[in-house]
Each structure stands twice: as C-alpha cells, then as structure tokens.
C-alpha cells in the first residue's frame, strides 16, 4: 500500500477501491462471497446445518442474491445458546483473537477472528478513516476502550494500517487525554460521542479551548447519537464529527462509516451484506423503507453469521452519494428496536427525546430519562442539564426553558413528561457508552 497515494494523483486511498466498484461488479462479488460463506457456514457450524436442513435449503440453492431470503436468521440468543465457541467455523488453531460484548443478562457473546478476518477488519477500518479524510500524517488519539470490547483494537489496527500515528490511550483518565491531545498535536480522536462531550467540558474547566488545537475530526460511534447532537459537538470543538457504525457480532467498528458528505454511513457491503426487514413480520423491505438492519458477513472465516438481526433500526438509502462511492449508505442508527420503552401505551425512543431537547437553547447535551411506576401508573422524568447562565439566572429563565422543553418533548413523543432541570455536572458522565434510560419500573 502506498502512503503517498495523494502524490500519485489517486483520488482515493487504494484500500478504498471497493467503495467505488461499478454496481454490477459489486453485486457479482457479493453473490460469489455469499455462496462461499453459506457453504462454509453449512459445512462447519451445526446451528446452520440444522436450521438449513429444517428449511430444506442447501448451499447450492443460493443462485442469486435474492436467494438470501431462503436462509435462516441468526439472533443474539443463538450466540448465547452456543456460548462460548459453538458457532466457530474454524478450528481453534486458526482463531487468533476473540472479543466479547457484555450482555445485559448473564454471559457475554463471544466472537472470533482468523488472521484473514483481522486483515479484512483492518481494511474496512482503513476505508472508514479514509472516508473521513484521514491518512498518513494524522495523529489519531484512540480513546475507545481496549480489551474485550472491539472498539479499541479495531480502530487501532485500522489506524496503523492507514499509516497514521496511533495513540493507544484507551478510554478514561480525561485529564490525561486532554494533556496528550494538546502536547502530541492530535488531529483526530476516536471515542463515543458522549465521552467526547465530557472531554470538551473537562477541557473547558481546565481553561483549554479544544477549538484552538489542531484536532479536526472525530470518529464517533458505538452508541446512538442524533444529528442534533452532531450540531452541538462540531462547533464546540471546531471539528467534523463522523459517524462510525459497527457491532461485535459482525466485526466490530467499521461495518459502515460516513464520508465527507456526512449524509449517513456507507456500508462496506462487499464484506457485510445488508437487508432491511420488518421486525414484526420479518418480511424484507425495499431500499428507502425503515426497518431492522440484518447483516450477513460475506467474508468472515472464524465466525460467519447468516442474516444476523442487529435490532438496529435504519433505512438503506437508494440515492447515490455526492462523494462518488457506489456502496450504499444507511441512515444513522438513532435507535434500536429493543431500546424503545412504552410509557402509558406510547412507544418512545431515547433519540426522540434527545432531538427534542437539543432544539431548545439553554440546554446542555447531557440528559437522562428515568422511568418509575407509582401506584401502577408509569411515570417518565427527563433530567437535563442547563447552562450555568440559565441555572443562575432569574426563575424566569428557568421557567422559560422548562416551558419550551416541555412543549418540544410533548410535540415529539405525544405525552407530557416531568422535567427536571439540573445544573451542569449533575448527570453522570460515561467513559464509553452512555446510559440514557434508567428504568426503575422492573421490580
């Protein structure tokens, strides 16, 4: 790989070439890989052999991409039921790495990689960074957690393969992050958007203005965040905030990433075949319609997954992107089908509350939703920090914000919520994924 692809007159990083494949070539490549991976899964993973036999489907039945619908879905429960190594398709002596994601209940889900899998992962991370206009010469502060979580090592290998300088600082220790960011002249950071907000805030307290530092890009993901949140983050740090999407079951970070148009992440669909289904009926939906994202890993050796139900709600965007990439984009994932909560019969997603409250001036992007049950009646309280000016101003300013917020939220979700305006720093900050909803109803 040349580090000097700009100088050679190439308009994109060589590793990004598949981003620009003519559609017919892309589809042919996907079909070929789907046939190979279906056979690999059938031959090596008992779960798939059984479920395909039950459906009367053989790998040879995959003759076109639409035949993917003949294949069974895979769910997180399948991973849990086959804990820890039951879905591996490679012998252990070819598995060079495992990662695990902490489940909300009981055992984690385990994922595996061969050397080739790690190479593919690095390549999609290179494509992710390149899409954010990062390259050799950039100094990337990698504040995703290193360890069983895929964020740290995934971004690390990708940034090295890109030819950038990686600072493997991992998550946490915010004061040190700020010192390193200044002293090492960092140009890009990788972390969750909520952690970056915390970092900006802490820097402000220490008298450091991140806008004056060389940092120009943030590669933010691992948790849902809204467009309204991007609008808050970018001017605070004078950077471009890019959305990176991924999940451990499929590879980790690098399943999809935004380009400079910032108009929804491009899916690296030569490796991860996307479908959108209706989560209730499991019926496939066309591009442009919203539903649950289902992904088939087209090249994973150690742990191929067929039609994995991500639970993430999005839309595949049919329109071509101005950047010229041919791989499809998806709308940013702002919600999961399982983070929805039902309050007095109304379905609510935390992202709806986030969008509504960030519309109102005087609020800070730190909030939490607390659900309780009082005498069989569900109560919803939104706690949100307001600026010191609002907080220390007359009662009038607080009342004004409260009124606007109440209306904005009621307008978005259709019900009235209890609002608690709190002073800055009241809501707990996270070093990784933020916890937005505290559900105290489950007793």
Q: Interface residues with ligand DLL (CB under 6 A)?
A: 101, 144, 150-151, 221-224, 243-248, 252-253, 310, 312, 332-333, 336
For the bound state, the minimum distance from the C-beta of residue 333 to ligand DLL, rounded and expressed in Å, comes to: 4
Nearer to ligand DLL, 61 or 227 (CB): 227
Q: Which residues of 336-369 are buried (b: 16+ CB within 10 A; e: fewer)?
A: bbebebebeeeebbbbbbbbbbbbbebbbbbbbb
Nearer to ligand DLL, 310 or 412 (CB): 310
Q: Can you list the alpha helix ranges (DSSP code H) found in 93-226?
A: 115-131, 150-162, 174-183, 193-205
Nearer to ligand DLL, 42 or 273 (CB): 273
232's tokens: 């808050």
Nearer to ligand DLL, 42 or 196 (CB): 196
**φ/ψ (deg, to 5) at 332:** -60, 145
Beta strands in 207-322 (DSSP E): 217-221, 240-247, 252-257, 266-267, 272-277, 284-285, 290-297, 308-317
For the bound state, the minimum distance from the C-beta of residue 376 to ligand DLL, rounded and expressed in Å, comes to: 31
Nearer to ligand DLL, 337 or 420 (CB): 337
For the bound state, the minimum distance from the C-beta of residue 195 to ligand DLL, rounded and expressed in Å, comes to: 11
For the bound state, the minimum distance from the C-beta of residue 109 to ligand DLL, rounded and expressed in Å, comes to: 8
Nearer to ligand DLL, 38 or 74 (CB): 74
Residue 181 DSSP label: H
Nearer to ligand DLL, 246 or 362 (CB): 246
Nearer to ligand DLL, 151 or 362 (CB): 151
For the bound state, the minimum distance from the C-beta of residue 42 to ligand DLL, rounded and expressed in Å, comes to: 25
For the bound state, the minimum distance from the C-beta of residue 83 to ligand DLL, rounded and expressed in Å, comes to: 15
At what angle are helices 193-205 and 174-183 packed, to 10 degrees?
A: 80
Nearest residue to ligand DLL, using CB? 221
Residue 243's closest CA among 228, 256, 233? 256
Residue 415 DSSP label: S
For the bound state, the minimum distance from the C-beta of residue 56 to ligand DLL, rounded and expressed in Å, comes to: 31
For the bound state, the minimum distance from the C-beta of residue 155 to ligand DLL, rounded and expressed in Å, comes to: 7
Count CB neighbours of 423 within 10 A. Answer: 13
For residue 386, the surrounding DSSP H or E stretch is strand 377-386
Torsional class of 31: left (φ above 0), alpha (ψ -120 to 50), beta (otherwise): alpha
| Contact assessment for residue 193 and residue 223, using Cβ atoms and an 8 Å cutoff | yes
Residue 60 DSSP label: G
């Amino acid at each position: 790989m040349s580090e000097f692809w700009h100088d050679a007159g190439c308009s994109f990083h060589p590793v990004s070439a598949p981003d620009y494949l003519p559609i017919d070539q892309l589809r042919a490549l996907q079909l070929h890989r789907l046939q190979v991976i279906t056979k690999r899964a059938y031959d090596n993973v008992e779960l798939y052999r059984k479920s395909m036999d039950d459906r009367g489907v053989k790998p040879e039945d995959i003759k076109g991409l639409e035949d993917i619908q003949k294949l069974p879905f895979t769910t997180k429960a399948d991973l849990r039921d086959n804990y820890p190594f039951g879905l591996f398709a490679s012998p252990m002596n070819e598995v060079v790495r495992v990662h695990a994601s902490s489940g909300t209940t009981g055992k984690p889900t385990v994922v595996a990689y061969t050397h080739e899998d790690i190479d593919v992962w690095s390549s999609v991370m290179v494509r992710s960074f390149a899409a954010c206009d990062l390259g050799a010469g950039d100094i990337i502060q990698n504040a995703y957690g290193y360890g069983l979580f895929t964020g740290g090592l995934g971004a690390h290998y990708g940034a090295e393969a890109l030819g950038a300088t990686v600072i493997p600082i991992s998550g946490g220790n915010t004061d040190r992050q700020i010192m390193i960011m200044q002293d090492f002249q960092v140009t890009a950071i990788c972390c969750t958007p909520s952690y970056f907000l915390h970092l900006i805030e802490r820097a402000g307290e220490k008298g450091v203005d991140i806008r004056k530092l060389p940092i120009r890009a943030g590669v933010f993901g691992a948790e849902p965040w809204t467009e309204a949140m991007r609008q808050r983050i970018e001017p605070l740090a004078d950077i471009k905030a890019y959305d990176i999407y991924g999940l451990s079951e499929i590879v980790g970070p690098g399943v999809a990433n935004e380009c400079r148009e910032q108009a929804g992440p491009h899916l690296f669909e030569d490796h991860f075949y996307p479908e959108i289904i209706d989560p209730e009926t499991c019926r496939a939906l066309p591009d442009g319609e919203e539903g649950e994202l289902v992904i088939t890993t087209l090249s994973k050796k150690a742990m191929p997954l067929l039609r994995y139900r991500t639970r993430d709600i999005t839309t595949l965007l049919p329109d071509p992107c101005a950047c010229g990439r041919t791989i499809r984009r998806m709308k940013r994932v702002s919600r999961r089908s399982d983070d929805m909560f039902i309050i007095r019969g109304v379905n609510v997603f935390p992202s709806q509350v986030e969008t509504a409250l960030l519309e109102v001036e005087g609020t800070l992007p730190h909030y939490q939703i607390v659900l309780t049950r009082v005498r069989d009646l569900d109560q919803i309280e939104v706690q949100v920090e307001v600026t010191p000016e609002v907080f220390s101003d007359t009662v009038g300013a607080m009342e004004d914000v409260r009124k606007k917020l109440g209306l904005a939220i009621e307008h978005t979700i259709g019900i009235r919520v209890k609002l608690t305006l709190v002073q800055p720093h009241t809501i707990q900050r996270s070093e990784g994924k933020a916890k937005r909803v505290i559900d105290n109803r489950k007793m």
